[in-house]
């Protein structure tokens, strides 16, 4: 079915502006969250938080993020993703500033929970905008948005570390980033896609949004959620345990121990930048299947290698493998719209599964490692990566048979629309 039918056609320039606006939101989300993460040690020192207490603060943020994803998906389906992504982004900027001025532990926990909820709502609504832009383009572009998030995380972390090194207090740091982010977000409003583009034809947000309900997830949604869980489980475990493994098991030394995760992160960002072009050639299912196999092969190399250099090559493969699986899973979830579920709620369900894996990964590895050692515990990720490959067929649930274009009919209609549409559309 032509999913662009019934929409007012948008010119090529208008679609490009929409793509740039969505890319900026992904970049800003990475910057804001990395800014908070980079200054956690300063917050801990400021309020003299014990490690266990700091853990409860971080947990409140994670719980808030999961709640924000579910609530954000519902609100985006009811009121449109453009409204919700703007409100959520502005709320995230505000909450970042409130975290900097929280004078006590209860207020800090509340601020961090609201920070997480704002981030979760922003995550779902900006991915809904990304899926809508991908639908208009008629080709895979969601990986490029997630590459922008990775780039924003890198920029926020480096800038946060530099500012922390100069001893700049939290309030001017956080408020400066938040103010700049809020101003630029408001500038993005005209470029974002209206709510009429959130859903494929026949499932307009305006028609279905008022009767939004949390539908029972389909088998396809459950399969995509499981892929997302396995993918982000591996990402979370790499973030928390890779340096410890290199230091304790391969005796890399404290100076070289973090290089494994650094390589993993750089390859994640690079591969996401290239992932859309490759997906357009070979199809989403094959990309996810190869990604799972690459991640499993890379971690096997890391765990069996007696040499540090060879293990670092394994981190290259893990980063390449896990880079595209989550974005392609979200893209597939967006294509489930029109089967009794709004785009945003389908994305919320899959994203919630994924971020549950992100939270569950590090403690699960630690618990298992206490019984069988870290090397065998990390083997869990190999099994989960192989599971990704086995479930990869779920990502092609609505893909055409030819791999050269995931949305060939949409692309043809989009080109016709671009040639006939006015350069000034009403939003």
Residue 135 C-alpha from the chain's centroid: 18
Contacts of 340 (CB under 8 A, 6+ apart): 215, 218
pLDDT tens digits, one per residue of 115-148 = 999 999 999 999 999 888 888 888 888 888 988 9
Q: Give the pLDDT of residue 383.
A: 96
Overall average pLDDT of the 38-45 stretch: 85
SS3 assignment, position 426: coil
Sign of the torsion formed by the C-alpha atoms of 328, 330, 333 and 338: negative
Q: Which of 273, 281, 372 is nearest to 323 (CA)?
A: 273
Quote the DSSP letter at residue 197.
G
Q: Which of 329, 37, 74 is nearest to 159 (CA)?
A: 37
**Mean pLDDT, the chain, whole residue set:** 82
Q: At what angle do helices 325-334 and 343-372 cross, to 10 degrees?
A: 150
Give the pLDDT confidence score for residue 139 in this predicted structure.
83
Residue-level pLDDT at 183: 96
Per-residue pLDDT at 88: 96
Per the CB < 8 A criterion, the answer to whether 359 and 232 are in contact is no
pLDDT per position as a tens digit, 280-324: 898 889 999 999 999 999 999 999 988 989 999 999 999 999 999
Closest by Cα among 314, 297, 286, 264 to 386: 297
**Do the beta carbons of residue 276 and residue 19 sit within 8 Å?**
no
């Amino acid at each position: 079915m032509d999913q662009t039918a019934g929409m007012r056609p948008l010119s090529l320039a208008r679609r490009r502006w929409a793509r740039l606006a969505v890319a900026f939101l992904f970049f800003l989300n990475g910057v804001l969250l990395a800014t908070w993460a980079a200054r956690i040690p300063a917050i801990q020192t400021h309020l003299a938080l014990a490690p266990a207490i700091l853990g409860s603060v971080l947990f409140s943020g994670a719980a808030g993020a999961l709640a924000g994803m579910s609530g954000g998906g519902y609100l985006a389906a009811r009121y449109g993703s453009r409204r919700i992504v703007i409100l959520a982004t502005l709320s995230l900027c505000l909450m970042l500033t409130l975290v900097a001025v929280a004078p006590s532990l209860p207020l800090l926990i509340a601020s961090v929970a609201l920070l997480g909820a704002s981030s979760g709502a922003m995550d779902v609504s900006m991915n809904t905008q990304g899926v809508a832009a991908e639908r208009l383009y008629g080709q895979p572009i969601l990986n490029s948005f997630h590459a922008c998030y990775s780039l924003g995380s890198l920029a926020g972390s480096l800038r946060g570390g530099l500012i922390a090194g100069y001893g700049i207090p939290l309030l001017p740091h956080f408020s400066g980033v938040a103010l700049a982010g809020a101003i630029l977000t408001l500038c993005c409003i005209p470029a974002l896609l209206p709510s009429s583009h959130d859903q494929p034809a026949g499932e307009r947000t305006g028609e279905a949004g008022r009767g939004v309900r949390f539908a029972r997830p389909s088998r396809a949604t459950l399969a995509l959620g499981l892929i997302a869980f396995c993918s982000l489980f591996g990402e979370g475990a790499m973030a928390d345990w890779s340096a410890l493994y290199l230091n304790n098991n391969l005796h890399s030394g404290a100076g070289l121990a973090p290089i494994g995760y650094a390589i993993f992160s750089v390859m994640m960002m690079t591969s996401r930048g290239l992932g859309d072009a490759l997906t357009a050639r070979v199809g989403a299912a094959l990309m996810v299947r190869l990604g799972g196999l690459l991640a499993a092969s890379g971690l096997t190399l890391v765990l069996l290698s007696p040499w540090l250099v060879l293990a670092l090559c394994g981190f290259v493969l893990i980063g390449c493998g896990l880079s595209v699986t989550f974005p392609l899973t979200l893209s597939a979830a967006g294509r489930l719209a029109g089967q009794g579920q709004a785009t945003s709620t389908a994305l919320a369900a899959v994203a919630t599964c994924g971020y549950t894996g992100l939270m569950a990964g590090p403690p699960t590895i630690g618990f298992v490692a206490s019984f069988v050692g870290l090397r065998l515990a990390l083997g869990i990720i190999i099994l989960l990566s192989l599971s990704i490959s086995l479930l990869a067929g779920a990502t092609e649930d609505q893909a055409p048979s030819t791999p050269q274009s995931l949305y060939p009919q949409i692309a043809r209609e989009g080109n016709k629309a671009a040639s006939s549409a006015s350069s000034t559309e009403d939003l």
